[in-house]
Amino acid sequence: MNFHALMLCPARLLIAGLTALLLFAIVPPQPADAHGIRDETPRIAVVSAFAPELAILQGELEGASTQSVNGVVFTTGTLEGQEVVLFLSGISVVNAAMTVQLALDHFAIERIVFSGIAGGVDPSLDIGDVVIADRWGQYLEMLFAREADGGWMTMPFFEYPYGNFGMMFPRSVTVLRPGAEAPETRFWFPVDEALLANARSAAEGVSLARCTAEDKCLEETPSIVVGGSGVSGGAFIDNAAFRTWAFETFGARVLDMESAAVAHVAYANDVPFIAIRSLADLAGGGEGANQMEVFLGLAAGNAATVVKALLRAMPD
């Protein structure tokens, strides 16, 4: 570069800088929320894990309107007289936690209702039954212990409220919530008492399906069970021994991959929560092959039926 060009560089930099400042003054600053929408209408979030469950409820939505945030499609409208926002959580605890928090950040959500299928753990229950647990825990929050002297060596800094499954030792988690001065350690996340009372009232007048669209019928008409424990984890369980352990250890009636994560997020945000899970399989407890694919539609339909009844039982 020659001397003349070298002398021009500061001038060019100054002009470029002034141009950038002028452009900044002309273009208004972007809002802090770069994801777009903020819906201020008070709503009930009705959440499903995957599409077949949600499609049933979307088909009855009035005044439907869709919006997308981070690729998640939110559908607002009226269902059974309630202002709702419907969306898919995605399968797994991570997807469920992420999408529900996203919804809470962009909508004025007053209550959360999770709807979907699950695996039955309680031996007294069967495929098609609907479980509305009163608390949820994460069974896969665990220490995988090292083997030592014919046993297992645990770490002293975790809390182990329940017995182990081999090397797997369930432990509690910590959570922060509004007004708390320090993280709280807990295993169970409670369902909202008012929503649970609404569910008990709604269950009295609900009839559940016994046969699939292909005329594959259950031996008995499914029932609705309110109360008891549910557990969730990032694993699809189809193992009789693990199912027995989950029932005996946690008193679990149902096992899935999302509800406890949503309960955790709801608790951290101080938003009332309830989950309605219909049994599509028995988590390894049935004879022969897993029957989820056979009874998926029936279970999803039964869950949706109970969700609608619950919405009708809620106060406006």
pLDDT tens digits, residue range 180-210?
Answer: 889 999 999 999 999 999 999 999 989 999 9
Mean pLDDT over 104-123 rounds to 96
HSE-CB of 192 using CA atoms within 13 angstroms: 22
Helix 292-313 crosses helix 51-58 at what angle (to 10 degrees)? Answer: 40
Q: Is the pLDDT of residue 148 over 60?
A: yes
pLDDT level of residue 178 (50, 70, 90 thresholds): confident
Say how far apart CA 134 and CA 250 lie, in whole Å.
13
Say how far apart CA 73 and CA 286 lie, in whole Å.
36
pTM for the whole structure? 0.86
Say how far apart CA 97 and CA 89 lie, in whole Å.
8
pLDDT at 37: 72
Report percent pLDDT > 90 for the chain: 78
Mean pLDDT over 100-119 rounds to 96
Please answer whether residues 227 and 251 qualify as being in contact, where contact means their C-beta atoms are separated by less than 8 angstroms.
Answer: no
Please answer whether residues 206 and 311 qualify as being in contact, where contact means their C-beta atoms are separated by less than 8 angstroms.
Answer: no
